[in-house]
Structures are given as C-alpha cells and as structure tokens.
C-alpha cells in the first residue's frame, strides 16, 4: 500500500512538471496552431540560469528566480520573432496556416538544437546538483513521505493553471487569444492583431516555462540536455489530455506522471519510455482528440 | 495562338516538358551512378570510400524519409527508428541464429516495415505532428531497449556482424561501397517510379488538401500509411545493409541526433524533390570531417540548428526547389505577357454538345428519373445548434435539383453530409440500393458520388492534366505495381492521360492549360478544373457547391451548358447557388432550406414565389404591399 501511495505522490509531483511544459505548448498551440518544439529548452534555460546565478554567482534566491523567469520570457519571444514570424508562405497556397505550422515545426526544432547546444557551450555538458529552496525533511502520510519540494511543485502547477484560466477569461489579451484559438481568420477580421497575439502567446509560454524550470530545478539536476526528455513527456501529456483544450494539459500530465511512477514503483524505472509510448498509442487509438476534449468533426 | 518564344521552343522540341525533365534526370542519374561506381579506381582513399559507404546508406534512408515527408507531407522524426530496426534485426539474426546475412537483411526490411506500420497506424489516424512525436518517442526507445536486453542486443558494445559474402568470397571495402551504391540507386529508382505514378500524384494531392484527396476516391489514411510503410521498408534496407558493411551494431549509433541529421539533410536538400536527399547528404560530406555525423560536438550541432532555421526561412520548399522557382519565373518572362493576360477573366469555351455522354459511362446505365441518391431525415448538430433538422432529399438521374436558401441555412452542410465529410449525424442515405450514411468520403466517391468545393481546391503541386487524372478510378494500380512499372500500371497511366485529355477537350480547357501549373489560372478555370476532376470519377451523382459564384455572366453561361450536358448524359446533379436566374434556367426541381429545414420544394417558379421562401430571404417586410 505504501508503494502505491508513494507512487501517487511522486507521480503527482512529476506530473506537475509535465503539466507546466504541456501548458506552455498549449498556450502557443491554441492561439496559433504552432507547436513550439523549443518550449522544453526554455524550461532548461530557466533551470540553468537559476543554478548559475544562485550557485555559481552567489546571488540571493529571489533575484535569481526573477532573472531566470525574465530571461525565459525573452528567449521565448526571440524564438517567435526569428523562427515563426519570419516565415513567409507564398500567397495562394492552400492551407496557409497549416503550412506555416509545418515550417515552424522545423524552425523551432532548429531553435531547440541551437538553444541546447548553446547551453552546453556556455555551461559545459556536465551535470551539477541543484541546491534546493526548502528543507528536505518530509512529512509522513500513511506510509509514504511527502517532501515540501513535491508540495511546492504540485501547488505551483495548480496555481499557474488557475492563473492562466483567469487570464484567458478576463484579461483583454486573454480574450483575444481565445478568439484566435477559436477562429483565427474571424479574429483578424474583428481587429485582433495576430502578430502581436502570437508574440504574447509565446511570452506567456515563456513565463510558464520559466516558472516550471525554477520550480523543477531541485529535483532535476542542472543539466543542459534535460530539455528533450521534458519536451517529449510534455508532448505526450498534452496529447493524452487533448491539444487546445482547457484542462487537457493538467489532466494528461497527472495521468502520465502517475502511470510512470506506478511502473517505476512496481516494475522498473527504466521502462518509463515504454509507458509514455504505450499510453500515447492507447489514447490515439481510443480517443484521438484527447481525454479532456469533446468529440468533434471527424478528420480524415 | 500568339507566336512567342515558348511557342517556338515547343514546336522545335516536340517532346513534352514532363518527359524532357524525366530524361534529363535519368541521364544525370546514370552518369552519377557510373562515376560513383568507379570512384575507388580513381584513386580515392580507402578511408573516404568507407565514409562514402555510410553516406550512401544515409542518403538512401533520407530518400525514404522524403517519401513520407516530402511526397505525402507527414512529418516524422524517426528515420533512425526504421534504420535501427533493420540493422538490429539483421545483426541479431546473423549473430545469434547464424542465418545467411543476405536473408537477414531481407527479414530486417520486412520487420522494419511491420514496425513502421504498427507505430504509425494510430498516429496517422489523427495526422499532424502526432506522427512526428510518436516516431521520436519510438526512436528513443531503441537505445533504452538495447540497454535493457544486453544479451540480445550487445548493449553499448554492440553486436559484431560478419561481412557480406558471395559464394566463398567475403566483401571487402570496395565491394561494400558498391553494394551501398546499388542500394542507393535502387531506392532512388523506387522513389522516382512512385513519384511519376498515380500514387505520386495522390501523395502530392495529400499535401495540398486531405479533403479534396478524399473527394477523388483516395483513402487518406491508407495513402499516409502506404507512404510511411514505404519509407520504413527503405530505411530498413539501408539499416540492414549498414549492419553488414559496418560490421558493428550498437546502441550508441542510433541516438536521436542521428534522426536530426537525416531530417536536416532532407530539409537542406529540398523536401519533396527527387534530388533533395542526395544533395542534402552530399553537402554534409563536402564539409570537413569535423562535421560528419559520427563525431560532432555542440558547436557543429548548433550550426546545424542554425542552418535548419535559415534554410526554412529562406526557401520554405528546400534548395532543390530553386531551379523550379527560377525556371517558372523565367517562363513567365519568356511568355511575353501571355501570363498577364491570363490574370483577367478569360472566356471559357463552351462544351461540345453530346460529347459529355462519352465521358459518363456509369450514368448511361441509369434509367432516366431513377433515384440515384436518396437522403431521409438527415439531422446534424454543431454544438447546440441544429444545422440540419430532418431534411430529406432525392437526386434523380438525368435531372438537376437545386438547393437554395439564405446563408447559414445548411446547404453546404447538407452537401457535406451527402458526400460524407461530416461525422456521424442522424438519418439514412441510400445510393442505388446501398445504405451509405456511415461510409467515408472516399468510398462514396468511388461509388460515383462526386462533389466540388465552394472555394475550388486545386492540387497546386500538380499540373491541370494531373489534377484531373487523380480522379480516375477504373482499375487503379497498387503501389508495388507502380514501383515495378507493371503492365497494369502502364495501362492505367495511358488510359488516365487519354481520359483526362478527353475531359479537358469536352470542357473547353485548351492545351495551354495542360502545360502550365494549375495555380496560375484564374477563378473560372479553377472552377471548371474542379468540375473536371469530379467528372473523372465517372460519377452518377455530381454535387456542385456554388459553381457560378464569383463568375462573370459569360462564364456563368458556360457553367450552365456544362451542367445541362452532364444532366443530359444521365448524371443526377445537385447544385447549390444563390443566383436565382441561374437556378431557374438550370434546375428541374428546387429545394429551399431555411435554418436547417426544408421549407419548399418543387418547380423553380413555384418555389421562387413561395411566401415562406421570400420571407426567409427578405424577412416579413417583403410581404407588405
């Protein structure tokens, strides 16, 4: 029983990380149909900058975190500026939005390669321990241990999800992004500046990634190559939950995290990638539009 | 016909442009293969020959990637996956079971194809980049699997494979190299044969519009799967041969970086072009050893990433598309203004009377007035809104039924429901005795239910003739049939070409249209092309969505004559339009919709005067004196 409970707890905690990555993907995809393959690298940037400022440069925690988040936002906006807004699709092509998303997939892939290798060049390829923010002593809960770090992660994911929802529903640009997500052409006709909206979407994704990186630092290491793993898991989480849905990222991420933790607890932690693959294939077979979405028009 | 440079060239060299580029490419390829074959004898160093062997096998894999990404437009990030599967299968069979290496390679190809199909099948159902991520995940699984099964896979150290042999003689360096060249040439030939076949046209159609591809009777899902399995087979072959020529197969050789290199090479060379894979991989060879895949550090990787971004921004369609873009802008210049004239609406030639019957063979077998398509109580909801509410309609052979109604009344939704483009609603649809309400669009198209789109969807990467050819359904060849150029394939190519030309003549599209890219034409030509493609299906029902919209009066007259010719040939025609005059002239029966319901049905004049119809269009104010 305690294995099960421990698995649930660590599953929720790692699910929180996946949720933050997935929410970042979703923030951009919903409004622009672009899938930003470099999203997870922005998370890595936040981790590395926080580590470097706090541990290598001796900064206090609070300014280091703020700086890391700020830099993440900047990097994300730069990705948009270079890799997305410069794409020109010749006029008269069918499906210009889809074509742009396709090209953006490759350019953001390029960006993710550049960012990851840039980090390796700046910080070396070694892996360093990340000093935690909170004491490691955990609380007992029915045979399992919950650490303050884990509570922090889950709480942060929940808070970010709530804040994002509120923003999308209340703030002027949130509503405009919502409009873009529903029907980008109609939004343009109604005066929404698509270009600006895209930049804002990327900025929000950068913010979410920055927070995610800062919060996950203590349980991950300061490792420049960590981006790819998070990216893949974040994608699987979003695919399970449903692209462009409200609760998809959180739902899918928790499910994925718990499944991975259960397999790690009862069988072997190394099978993680098979859990990801298996769950993804299962969802694609059974409910391809995602668990959190309503059945929509069948696409051929 | 204006006498200009293009006219002169066309008369001097009576070979068609398509064929000319084929012979050019074939010639280039033969020369290239000959040079490559004799390279070792020309004093190239053994170390370089070894590298070239690898490069040839990578290029072959990238040709496979090109088939699925370049032709069919499906992004996959796991060419390393099928390569690794081919390599590992070959190595395991050879090392653990000691079977003949050649046999092992063949089995490796088959296993790679099966693995490819299994991984891709669920992802292809939804399309988009799900496939990319699934393949990326699966490619990552290979090194993990290798670590988990060290006895089977040799883990990091790897498996040592014996070299290839013919009879008693083992292959040495040069023989391995020549084998890889043979593999490359073979894969190139396969890709080229597919590109110049119906399957190549369908793959390219898939890139432009999945809906329109369904509408010409091609199962989108099946086409995607076929393209993916083809690429898996090619990748598996390259991987299997790699096992034999490299001699060692280990987990570290198939990291995700490998996938990135292959993908970048394709992007650099030109996605979708025949030479793209070879150009891309060759460029990587010309750069000093520091950049070769096996030993590259973060600087070179970062540069790769940068190159990817720059190339995609500068040439979204890849380097190999540069000649094409240059030649088409040259062609415009040589045309001496002919293209400019084309931008204005040009009068369409009207159809030859009676010629349409020749084209509509299936329709000839129908009895006049026979109900060919019947729909009962069709209902469909979008969210909470009832787009269609218990609508019933019948299309009869040899008659034109028009669907009118204000915007939002459900006309296009009904057409979509009849042609299968909307998911499950409620109601029954019957076509010549078969209940088809749960059939997919492509099945209905094959049955003879053809449609056009409100905004004509033209396959922009195919010429006008090829656009029409995609619709031909009689005795379509299978993929393998096209690869080996079987008689069935050849017969289909000839027949489809003749048929498409016939259709073009009947509809008044001249020969100039055949050569030019379909994209440069104007709206009227596009609309006729859309109809031509629908006619290629040899339909018994033809459904036109606003065929006259946006056309000048003389062009509308042409559309009218096309419709009446099609009607006289025995086809049942359904037309949606707003132009009341057009509808009155063309239709035998009119059905009026308002807010998802049928409010009137009958002869055109009766429906025109029906108060409910007038109220729907103009509101109650119209009834006041």
Q: Which of A200-214, B312-326, B522-536, B609-623 has the highest mean pLDDT?
A: A200-214
Q: What is the 3-state secondary structure (H, E, C) of B357-402?
A: HHHCHHHHCCCCCCEEEEEEEEEEEECCEEEEEEEEEEEECCCEEE
For position B337, what pLDDT does the model report?
A: 42
In the predicted structure, residue A68 carries a pLDDT above the cut 60: yes
Q: How far is A79 from chain B (nearest CA, A)?
A: 11
Sign, CA torsion B54/B60/B65/B71: positive
For position B516, what pLDDT does the model report?
A: 53
Bridge partners, residue A146, by sequence: A139
Rounded distance between C-alpha atoms, residue B230 and residue B68, angstroms: 8
Cβ-nearest to B122 among A99, A106, A284: A284
Place of tokens 């009879």: B167
In the predicted structure, residue B513 carries a pLDDT above the cut 80: no
Rounded distance between C-alpha atoms, residue B546 and residue B605, angstroms: 20
Of A153-162, A231-240, B296-305, B568-577, which range is least confident?
A: B296-305
Residues in chain A closer than 8 A to B214 (CB atoms)? 300
Which residue of B lies nearest to A119 if distances are taken between CA atoms? B298
Is A103–B316 a contact, with Cβ atoms under 8 angstroms apart?
yes
Q: Of A48 and B142, which is predicted with more confidence?
A: A48
Could you tell me the pLDDT band of residue B347, with boundaries at 50, 70 and 90?
low
Is B208–A281 a contact, with Cβ atoms under 8 angstroms apart?
no
pLDDT digit string (tens) for A99-134?
788 778 878 988 998 999 999 988 888 888 888 888
In contact, B80 and B239? CB cutoff 8 Å: no
In the predicted structure, residue A173 carries a pLDDT above the cut 70: yes
For position B576, what pLDDT does the model report?
A: 92
Could you tell me the pLDDT band of residue A71, with boundaries at 50, 70 and 90?
very high
How distant, in Å, are the alpha carbons of B468, B471, B483, B530 from that of B198? 11, 10, 11, 18
In the predicted structure, residue B514 carries a pLDDT above the cut 70: no
Q: How far is A235 from chain B (nearest CA, A)?
A: 8
Is A107–B312 a contact, with Cβ atoms under 8 angstroms apart?
yes
Residue among B307, B302, B331 at smallest CA distance from B319: B307
Of B137-146, B281-290, B429-438, which range is least confident?
A: B281-290
Mutate to test the interface with A, among B221, B312, B424 (most CBs of A within 10 A): B312
Please indicate if any CB of chain A lies within 8 Å of the CB of B312: yes
Residue among B221, B285, B292 at smallest CA distance from B74: B221
For position B323, what pLDDT does the model report?
A: 73
Cβ-nearest to B209 among A89, A94, A125: A94
**ipTM, interface predicted TM-score of the complex:** 0.85
pLDDT digit string (tens) for B245-289?
888 887 777 766 677 678 777 877 777 777 888 887 877 655 544
* Percentage of the residues of chain B whose pLDDT score is greater than 70: 84
In contact, B155 and B254? CB cutoff 8 Å: no
- Mean pLDDT, rounded, of chain B: 79
For position A299, what pLDDT does the model report?
A: 31
Cβ-nearest to B302 among A99, A106, A118: A118
Residues in chain B closer than 8 A to A299 (CB atoms)? 126-127, 210
In contact, A113 and B302? CB cutoff 8 Å: yes
Is B302–A117 a contact, with Cβ atoms under 8 angstroms apart?
yes
Mean pLDDT, residues A249-258 taken together: 92
pLDDT digit string (tens) for B212-256?
888 988 888 888 888 888 889 999 999 999 988 888 887 777 766
Residues A76, A81, A84: CA angle, nearest 5 degrees: 95
Residues 103-142 of A with CB under 8 A from B: 103, 105-107, 109-114, 117-118, 120-121, 125
- Mean pLDDT, rounded, of chain A: 86
Q: How far is B567 from chain A (nearest CA, A)?
A: 30
Rounded distance between C-alpha atoms, residue B314 and residue B301, angstroms: 20
Could you tell me the pLDDT band of residue B15, with boundaries at 50, 70 and 90?
very low
Please indicate if any CB of chain A lies within 8 Å of the CB of B301: yes
pLDDT digit string (tens) for B465-490?
888 888 888 778 888 888 888 888 88
Please indicate if any CB of chain A lies within 8 Å of the CB of B117: no
Is A110–B312 a contact, with Cβ atoms under 8 angstroms apart?
yes
For position A63, what pLDDT does the model report?
A: 92
Of A136-145, A165-174, B78-87, which range is least confident?
A: A136-145
Cβ-nearest to B126 among A118, A120, A284: A284
In the predicted structure, residue B309 carries a pLDDT above the cut 60: yes
For position B527, what pLDDT does the model report?
A: 87
Q: Is B154 left (phi over 0), alpha (psi -120 to 50) or beta?
A: left
Is B309–A94 a contact, with Cβ atoms under 8 angstroms apart?
no
Residues 419-448 of B with CB under 8 A from A: 421-424, 440-442
* Percentage of the residues of chain A whose pLDDT score is greater than 90: 36
Could you tell me the pLDDT band of residue A75, with boundaries at 50, 70 and 90?
very high
Rounded distance between C-alpha atoms, residue B305 and residue B108, angstroms: 32
Of B26-30, B152-156, B433-437, which range is least confident?
A: B152-156
For position B18, what pLDDT does the model report?
A: 54
Mean pLDDT, residues B43-64 taken together: 84
In the predicted structure, residue B424 carries a pLDDT above the cut 60: yes
In the predicted structure, residue B356 carries a pLDDT above the cut 90: no
For position A212, what pLDDT does the model report?
A: 92
Q: Of A213 and B98, which is predicted with more confidence?
A: A213
Mean pLDDT, residues B391-411 taken together: 89
Mutate to test the interface with B, among A22, A106, A280 (most CBs of B within 10 A): A106
Residue among A143, A81, A85, A105 at smallest CA distance from A231: A105
Residues in chain B closer than 8 A to A93 (CB atoms)? 460
Parallel, antiparallel, or unpaired for β B385-396 and B371-382? antiparallel
Mutate to test the interface with B, among A40, A114, A287, A296 (most CBs of B within 10 A): A114
Which residue of B lies nearest to A297 if distances are taken between CA atoms? B423
| Coil/strand/helix, residue A140 | strand
């Amino acid at each position: 029983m305690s294995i099960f409970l421990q698995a649930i707890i660590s599953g929720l905690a790692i699910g929180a990380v996946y949720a933050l990555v997935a929410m970042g993907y979703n923030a951009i995809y919903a409004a622009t149909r672009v899938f930003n393959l470099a999203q997870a690298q922005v998370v890595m940037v936040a981790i590395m900058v926080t580590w470097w400022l706090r541990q290598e440069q001796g900064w206090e925690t609070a300014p280091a975190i703020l700086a890391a988040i700020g830099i993440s936002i900047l990097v994300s906006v730069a990705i948009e500026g270079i890799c997305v807004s410069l794409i020109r699709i010749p006029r008269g092509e069918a499906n210009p939005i889809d074509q742009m998303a396709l090209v953006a997939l490759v350019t953001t892939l390029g960006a993710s390669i550049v960012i990851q290798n840039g980090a390796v060049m700046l910080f070396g390829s070694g892996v360093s321990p990340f000093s935690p923010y909170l004491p490691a002593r955990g609380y007992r809960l029915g045979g399992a241990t919950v650490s303050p770090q884990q509570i922090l992660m889950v709480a942060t994911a929940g808070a970010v999800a709530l804040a994002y929802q509120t923003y999308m529903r209340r703030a002027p640009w949130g509503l405009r992004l919502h409009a873009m997500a529903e029907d980008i052409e109609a939004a343009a006709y109604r005066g929404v500046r698509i270009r600006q909206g895209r930049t804002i979407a990327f900025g929000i994704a950068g913010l979410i990634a920055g927070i995610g990186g800062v919060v996950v630092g203590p349980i991950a290491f300061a490792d420049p190559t960590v981006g790819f793993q998070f990216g893949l898991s974040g994608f699987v989480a979003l695919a399970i939950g449903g692209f462009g849905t409200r609760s998809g990222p959180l739902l899918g991420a928790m499910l994925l995290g718990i499944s991975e933790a259960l397999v790690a607890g009862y069988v072997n932690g190394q099978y993680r990638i098979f859990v990801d693959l298996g769950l993804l294939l299962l969802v694609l077979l059974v409910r391809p539009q995602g668990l959190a979405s309503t059945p929509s028009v069948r696409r051929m | 016909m204006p006498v200009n440079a293009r006219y002169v060239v066309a008369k001097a060299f009576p070979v068609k442009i398509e064929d000319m580029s084929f012979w050019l490419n074939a010639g280039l390829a033969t020369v290239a293969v000959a040079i490559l074959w004799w390279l070792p004898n020309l004093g190239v160093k053994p170390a370089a020959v070894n590298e070239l062997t690898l490069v040839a096998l990578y290029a072959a894999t990238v040709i496979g990637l090109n088939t699925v990404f370049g032709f069919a437009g499906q992004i996959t990030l796991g060419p390393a996956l099928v390569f690794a599967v081919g390599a590992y299968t070959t190595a395991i069979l050879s090392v653990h079971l000691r079977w003949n290496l050649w046999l092992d390679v063949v089995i490796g190809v088959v296993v790679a194809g099966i693995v490819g199909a299994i991984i891709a099948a669920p992802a292809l159902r939804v399309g988009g980049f799900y496939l990319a991520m699934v393949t990326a995940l699966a490619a990552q699984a290979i090194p993990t699997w290798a670590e988990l099964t060290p006895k089977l896979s040799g883990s990091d150290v790897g498996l040592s494979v014996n070299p290839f042999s013919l009879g008693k003689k083992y292959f040495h360096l040069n023989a391995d190299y020549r084998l890889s060249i043979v593999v490359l040439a073979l894969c190139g030939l396969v890709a080229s044969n597919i590109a110049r076949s119906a399957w190549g046209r369908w793959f390219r159609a898939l890139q432009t519009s999945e809906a329109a591809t369904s509408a010409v009777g091609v199962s989108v899902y099946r086409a995607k799967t076929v393209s993916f399995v083809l690429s898996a087979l090619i990748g598996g072959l390259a991987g299997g041969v790699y096992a034999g020529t490299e001699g060692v197969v280990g987990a570290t050789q198939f990291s995700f970086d490998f996938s990135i290199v292959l993908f970048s090479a394709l992007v650099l060379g030109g996605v979708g072009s025949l030479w793209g894979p070879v150009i891309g991989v060759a460029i990587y060879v010309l750069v000093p050893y520091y950049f070769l895949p096996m030993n590259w550090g973060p600087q070179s990787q970062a540069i790769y990433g940068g190159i990817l971004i720059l190339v995609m921004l500068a040439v979204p369609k890849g380097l190999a598309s540069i000649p094409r873009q240059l030649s088409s802008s040259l062609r415009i210049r040589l045309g001496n203004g002919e293209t400019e004239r084309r931008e204005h609406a040009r009068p369409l030639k009207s159809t030859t009377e009676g010629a349409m019957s020749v084209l509509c063979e299936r329709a000839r077998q129908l009895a006049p007035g026979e109900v060919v398509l019947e729909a009962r109580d069709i209902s469909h909801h979008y969210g909470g809104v009832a787009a269609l509410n218990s609508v019933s309609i019948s299309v009869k052979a040899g008659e034109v039924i028009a669907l009118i109604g204000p915007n939002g009344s459900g006309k296009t939704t009904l057409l979509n429901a009849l042609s299968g483009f909307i998911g499950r609603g409620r109601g029954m649809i019957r076509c010549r005795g078969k209940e088809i309400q749960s059939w997919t669009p492509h099945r209905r198209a094959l049955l003879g239910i053809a449609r056009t789109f409100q905004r004509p969807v033209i396959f922009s990467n195919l010429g006008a003739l090829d656009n029409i050819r995609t619709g031909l359904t009689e005795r379509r060849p299978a993929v393998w049939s096209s690869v080996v150029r079987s008689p069935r394939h050849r017969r289909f190519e000839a027949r489809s070409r003749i048929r498409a030309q016939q259709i073009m003549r009947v509809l008044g599209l001249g020969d100039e249209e055949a050569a030019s890219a379909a994209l440069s034409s104007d709206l009227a030509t596009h609309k006729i092309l859309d109809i031509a493609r629908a006619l290629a299906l040899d339909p018994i029902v033809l459904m036109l969505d606003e065929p006259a919209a946006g056309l000048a009066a003389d062009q509308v007259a042409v559309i009218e004559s096309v419709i009446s010719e099609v009607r006289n040939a025995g086809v049942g025609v359904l037309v949606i339009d707003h132009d009341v005059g057009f509808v009155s002239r063309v239709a035998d029966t009119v059905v009026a919709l308002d807010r998802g319901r049928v409010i009137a049905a009958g002869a055109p004049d009766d429906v025109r005067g029906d108060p409910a119809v007038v109220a729907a269009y103009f509101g109650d104010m119209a009834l006041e004196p």
